[in-house]
Amino acid sequence: MTATKKFKSLGLSAEILANLESLKYLEMTPIQEQGLPFVLAGRDFIGQANTGSGKTAAFGLGILMKLDMNINDPQALVLCPTRELADQVCVEIRRLARFTNNIKVLTLAGGTEERHKIKSLKQGAHIVVGTPGRIIKLIEKGALKLDALKIFVLDEADRLLELGFIGEINAIAAHTPQIRQTMLFSATFPNGIKALSSDLQDNPAQVSVDSQHELNDTKQLFFKVEGEDHKPDALMLLLGHYKPESAVVFCKSRIVCAKVAQLLRKGKMEALEIHSDLEQQDRTLVLAKFANKSCCILVATNLAARGLDIKDVGAVINYDLPSEHELYIHRIGRTGRAGRSGLALSLFIGKERYYLADIADYLKVACQIVELNDLRPDKTFILKPSMATIYISGGRKDNIRPGDILGALTKEAGLQGKDVGTIRILEVNSYVAVAVSQVNQAITRLQAGKIKGKKYRVGKA
């Protein structure tokens, strides 16, 4: 994916431009280049682009440019289909808003006690990001008021419809001002999106980013296996030959997920699984570990194909090939993001060959088939993470910031900055990645010391 224009061409504030530069956001992605002029002009907008295309910044910058800091009530509401996506959208908006400490961004989704959310709302919020069920519940309780709302965003709108949230969306919209900017972002454009747009929007501008353009930097290879029983050996062949630094392995069901994860762990590959049967807190921890490089392989059902901000994936492996080309696109969109080259490896059995024809027809490029016998795997190859994740029993409700944790680790715990990785602050707890060689020292020192003058429970997550 090649960006073509600088952000400075948009008339953004000097503070926002300086922050974008510090984030290394130097050029716009296609959805940003084509969509931001409409967004900043206040037009209702429909953006069609895959996950990882930069659409959060497309609506996030529009929100930040329109905030009135003298109003301490929600001025922007972003609806997301899952708690994971809501959390990640919130993190990205906070990054975009780093130019000022005064902008309050609040996540309203499951996984945290409702009383904490109500307390946070009483303290004020400029931007709210949440799931439809939690949002409508807080509106009905009178805890969330949208009288000052200027911008209403539906992220992954097609997924919101698939999950049956149309009633909640319309109920939420009924509590917003009639004059507002409404934006829909969607990976696909089914008829339901057209009907939703007709109900919520006024003459929206529409931008669609071509999927093939986004996949130009991803090498896509297909491997025939003689049957399901041959897939485990084929998977180990792929990993041993291509030796990715990290990988997401997609499976058709949670049962297959569990078997594949167990296979990988037996092969000394650090692997975790994620699917809808996991408890919410377990899903959050799994994603945190994969994102902070405490886990090298994520074995996933389609839950992880859409709406999860998983960056820097060395390879996507389709252990089970999806039957729909759009799902295939969503899956392999996890690799080769933000201009990096990607690798997508797909196993298929004979009766699935027509799936390849569907994919080739959609992408307008032939599927490259490689013989498994041609691979030369390194039999000594294993994937062990260099980082481990520490759990801390304090979060945003305790006013803990990443700098507080970093300071405690580098001063009281005696670690060097290079030994500390990603720090993720949640509502009531935090996760921090620490070099494996230093994790026991870090836990021992933090247990004995304090963060911002207060003691917290600390342990290996």
Average model confidence (pLDDT) for the chain? 88
Q: Averaged over 65-91, what is the pLDDT?
A: 91
- Beta carbons of 137 and 85 less than 8 angstroms apart: no
CA–CA gap between residue 117 and residue 141 (Å, rounded): 12
User: Which CATH topology does 212-374 take?
Assistant: Rossmann fold (3.40.50)
Q: Averaged over 21-43, what is the pLDDT?
A: 91
Query: Hey, which of 200-214, 234-248, 399-413 has the most confident mean pLDDT?
Result: 234-248
Does position 451 have pLDDT exceeding 80, yes or no? yes
Tell me the one-letter amino acid at 426.
L
Tell me the one-letter amino acid at 200.
L
Domain boundaries, given as residue ranges, for the chain: 7-209, 212-374, 387-460
Query: What are the tokens at 173?
Result: 């919209």
Residue with tokens 């799931």: 131
Residue with tokens 């997924």: 159
7-209 with 387-460: one CATH topology? Answer: no
Q: Averaged over 9-13, what is the pLDDT?
A: 89
Superfamily name and number for 387-460: RRM (RNA recognition motif) domain (3.30.70.330)
pLDDT at 189: 75
Give the confidence band of 208 by pLDDT, cuts at 50, 70, 90: confident
Does position 71 have pLDDT exceeding 80, yes or no? yes
Q: Averaged over 266-272, what is the pLDDT?
A: 89
Q: Averaged over 97-107, what is the pLDDT?
A: 88
What is the tens place of the pLDDT at every residue in 278-324? 777 888 889 889 989 999 999 998 766 555 667 678 999 999 998 88
Query: What are the tokens at 291?
Result: 């994102």
Does position 41 have pLDDT exceeding 90, yes or no? yes
Does position 340 have pLDDT exceeding 70, yes or no? no
Q: Averaged over 9-38, what is the pLDDT?
A: 91
Q: Averaged over 389-418, what is the pLDDT?
A: 89
CA–CA gap between residue 125 and residue 69 (Å, rounded): 10
* Of the listed ranges 189-198, 222-231, 298-307, 349-358, the one predicted with least confidence: 298-307
Superfamily name and number for 7-209: P-loop containing nucleotide triphosphate hydrolases (3.40.50.300)
Residue with tokens 């392995």: 249
At residue 115, the 3 state secondary structure works out as helix
pLDDT at 1: 37
Q: Averaged over 419-424, what is the pLDDT?
A: 92
Work out the burial of residue 125: count CB atoms within 10 Å of its CB; fewer than 13 is exposed, 13-18 middle, 19 or more buried: buried
The model's pTM is: 0.74
Share of the chain above pLDDT 70, in %: 94
Does position 76 have pLDDT exceeding 90, yes or no? yes
CA–CA gap between residue 31 and residue 351 (Å, rounded): 37
How far is CA 90 from each of CA 78, 105, 150, 157, 194, rounded to the nearest angstrom? 9, 7, 18, 17, 27
